[in-house]
Each structure stands twice: as structure tokens, then as C-alpha cells.
A and B are shown apart, each in its own frame.
Chain A
Amino acid sequence: MQKRLKEKALELLSNCTVTRVLGWKTGEFFYDLTPAVFETAEEVEKEFVYSGFSGANLSKYLIQESRKQGKVAVFLKPCDSYSFQQLLKEHRILRENVYVVGISCNGLLDMEKIRAQGCEGVTAVTEDGDTLTVDTLYGTTKLSRNDCLLERCAVCKSKKIVAFDELIGEQGEELESNRFDRVAELEAMTPEERFAFWREELSRCIRCNACRNVCPACSCEKCVFDNEKSGVRNKAIADSFEENLFHIIRAFHVAGRCTDCGECSRVCPQNIPLHLLNRKFIKDINEFYGVYQAGADMDTKSPLTDFTLDDCEPSIVHERGGVQG
């Protein structure tokens, strides 16, 4: 796959289709890839990498990149293409300046999960079908590939690439996903248990803003939490209320626009399952207003900028099953 991507990047640069290519750049190790813009064939030859660790969703960078001079090529995995299309829908990306190469995907790896399975000092990971061979400073281990997938890949919702100019690999289908299972589990708990769960999770937050800054749906020029005139600006959590406030507003602001790309949870240094908040909104939207997938097309109205005359009343929250709080 890496070879085909590299060849494509070189071809697009050499035939002047684009002036720049957005991809993943090699690091110190095998896993620490950085999103980068490649301008020359030499850079691509030397530094372009596509591997199981190319998890970073490149679509958000296009907000800036598509506004620069010349056309930029970008490699988008299926879930990235949803983010891309959602951004197009919101007029955040200038489509005519972007050349999208869609790439098929069989799930990406999570270094945190590999480490969590007891691998310390990892020096190499080789993929062989369903098995990963992990070389460390202290010996070699074999792990099941499925146990090392990013959360979003373990419950992949779609292999379909929804926006592209050309494809590398096969076009896929939307999948039956069990991604709402964990949300349903939480819903079945008592309010006390849910409260305790979220206090435990959110109390780890260090307010680094990585979840917000990486999110393709979070593209405000100035965030309310950075704006000193908003009254809610804060740089650190001074009270547990601020943890709740930040995470509720972050999730709410992207409700109906979040494509469930999973970047928020991928980048969280404290491994907070932030995607659960977003998924709760998606699940509710699906149940209340009909199934909706952000970024799936260019025309359907977002559920929060739309309504019907006979929408359910907010009291539905009280009427639904579960223990009353």
C-alpha cells in the first residue's frame, strides 16, 4: 500500500496535477508519524510513510491548505473522507484546490493498546495477517492485530470512501457496526453509576485541548473557551464543574456534525473515552429524528439545523426507560 501511495504522490507532483501532497511523514521510530506537506519528489521518496500507524485524519489540515496557492493532494481513509465531506458541506474547504486520493483501509493500529498489553520499549511491529510481531528492547511478543486496533477501527462504521477524485484499493461498503454498544451499556446503568463513571473519566482531564484541536468538526476561528470575553475562558480545570462544562459544550457543539471519526479519543493523553459523548448524541439523533450520518452526503440537512412539526418533546428524556434520577 505504501508503495502505491508513494507512486501516486510522485505521479501527481511530476505531472503538475498538484503542487503539494498532504501525507504522513516518517519519525524517529516506526510509529511516530507526523502529518506533513510534501513539495518535492525527494521529500516523498525519503520521508513519505503509510503504515498501520498513519491514524491521523488529514482532512482538517485542508481548511488551511486549500486556501494556499496551488492545488494540494490528500490521502483520505474512509472515515477521513466523511470528515472531509462534512467540512465541504460547511464550506470550510475549497474543493477546487484539493485532489483527493481515497485509500481503502483495513483498520489502524493503536500504539497505546500495544503498550497496554505489556510491551515496553517497542522497537518494531511487523504485521502478518491477523498477527502482530512486536519487537522490544526486552524480547519479542506476538499479539492479535484485532486487540491492537484503534477504538474507531475496532467498531468500524464504514469502509466506504464518500468523496474522492481517484481511488487506491477497493471501494468499500457501510458496515453493520456495534459502535453504540458501550453507550447502551451506560444508558442501562442508574444515574448514580453514570455520574460516578463520568466523574472518574473526566477527572483525569488535563485540559490540553487536544480533543478540540484535532477535531475536524471543531473549526471555529476562536473557540469560546479561548475567548477572554466569553466569561468561560479557562486554561485549566479549577473545579469539576469546568470539566463537565468543557466536555458537554465540546460534544454539543459538534452534535449533528460529528462524523464519529474517533480522533478525540485517539489523541487524548489521558485515554478518556470522549467519543462516547459524541456517540450518545449520534445515537439520540438516530432514535429521535431518524438515522443520520454526518458527512455521508452533501445535501441532507443536519439534524440540528432542521426540524419537523411533530418532533418529540424534551420530556422524552424523562419518559424513556431506566431509573429516574
Chain B
Amino acid sequence: MSVTENFKPTIVAFCCNWCSYAGADLSGTNRLQYPANVKIIRIPCSCRLNPMFVLRAFQKGADGVILCGCHPGDCHYTTGNYYARRRMTLLFSLLDFMGIERGRTRVEWVSAAEGAKFAATMNEFTETIMKLGPNRRLEDLRCRKD
């Protein structure tokens, strides 16, 4: 796939309110840089992430979707991220089964203290998506911008 020079990927990052969202905040206050095309959507807990959200993000133009939550064991609601972990494992596996590029989906555990990890993760993920190019296999043609 030839990646156009000026391809600016849209990344949707679903961040849990208690850890990762605060982590994103911290990376901001620490003036760590991560690409501006990462759009953060705050969710109350990583287990709030309905598989439908992931798919609809792709529909509406995302090229990559990442879920950030508290580290296993640290969930504000004790167990939410454990459920999220199983769900996302199965969802990503099915997407892979249907031929959607594996690199487009990711889960990363980011605590409120890990501002640096958040920025690094986003940089790395954006890099991966840049390499993969625009999302074509799970896009809705009606939503295409060009």
C-alpha cells in the first residue's frame, strides 16, 4: 500500500477516567509531545468500551483505535479492566480473522503517573498507523473526507 506523503492518520484513544485520562493530562502538563491527531475520548472505565465504539470510530474516520486503562489490578472499580481485557482480546482476534490489519487496534495500560508512557505509546502507535496507511478495510465510504 502506498502511503501518501501527507497522510495524517486519525487516532481515537479511549481513555479510562481514573488512570489513563489522568496520564494523558500529566503528559500534557509535563510538556511531552504526542501527535495532535490523537483524539481522546474519556470513558468511565476501560470496560465501558463497547465493541460497537471501536467499530464506529473506524466508520467515522479513525485509522487506528487504542484503548488505555488502568493496569490490571488497579481498576477503580476493582475488576473492570479484566473484563475489558477479555473482550478486546476476542474482538481484536475476530477483526484479524476478518482480515482487518492487526496493527490498527491496540490496548495499553497507562496509570495516572505514566505521562511519559502515554506520550511514548501514542507516538509509537501513530508511527504504526502511518506505516499501515489509511483505514480502507473497515471504512464507511459515505464518511470518506476526500
Contacts and interface: CB of A to CB of B under 8 A. Distances in A.
Contact of A244 (B72, B138, B142): B138
Contacts of B101: 191, 325
Contacts of B94: 248, 251-252, 277, 280-281, 284
Contact of B102 (A199, A251, A280, A317): A317
Interface stretch (B15-23, B34-42, B80-88): B80-88
A202 B94 CA distance: 15
Given A193-B99, A251-B94, A255-B90, A314 B51 contact: no
Given A245-B55, A249-B55, A195 B100 contact: yes
B52 A280 contact: no
B33 interface: no
A108 to B, nearest CB: 28
A281 B140 CA distance: 25
Nearest to A202: B98
Interface in B94-146: 94-103, 105-107, 137-142
Interface string A287-311: 0110000000000000111111101
Interface residues of B, number: 39
A308 B82 CA distance: 8
B92 A317 contact: yes
Given A245-B59, A309-B73, A198 B98 contact: yes
Contacts of B51: 248-249, 252
Per DSSP, chain A at the interface is: helix
A289 B86 contact: yes
B139 A191 contact: no
B85 A241 contact: no
Q: Among the interface residues B90, B95, B137, which one has the most CB atoms of the partner chain A within 10 A?
A: B90
B91 interface: yes
B66 to A, nearest CB: 11
A311 B85 contact: yes
B59 A313 contact: no
Nearest to A281: B90
A96 B119 CA distance: 58
Given A248-B94, A280-B94, A307 B79 contact: yes
A304 B97 contact: no
A213 B129 CA distance: 38
A187 interface: yes
Given A244-B55, A281-B90, A314-B88, A239 B141 contact: yes
Given A244-B98, A325-B102, A314 B107 contact: yes
The 9 A-B pairs at the shortest CB distance, nearest first, are namely A195-B99, A194-B99, A307-B82, A241-B140, A325-B101, A314-B107, A314-B89, A314-B88, A317-B92
19 contacts: A195-B137, A197-B99, A244-B55, A244-B98, A245-B56, A248-B51, A248-B95, A248-B98, A304-B86, A304-B87, A307-B85, A308-B82, A309-B82, A314-B105, A317-B96, A317-B102, A318-B102, A318-B103, A325-B101
Interface of A: 183, 186-187, 191-199, 224, 231-232, 238-242, 244-245, 248-249, 251-252, 255, 277, 280-281, 284-285, 288-289, 303-309, 311-318, 324-325
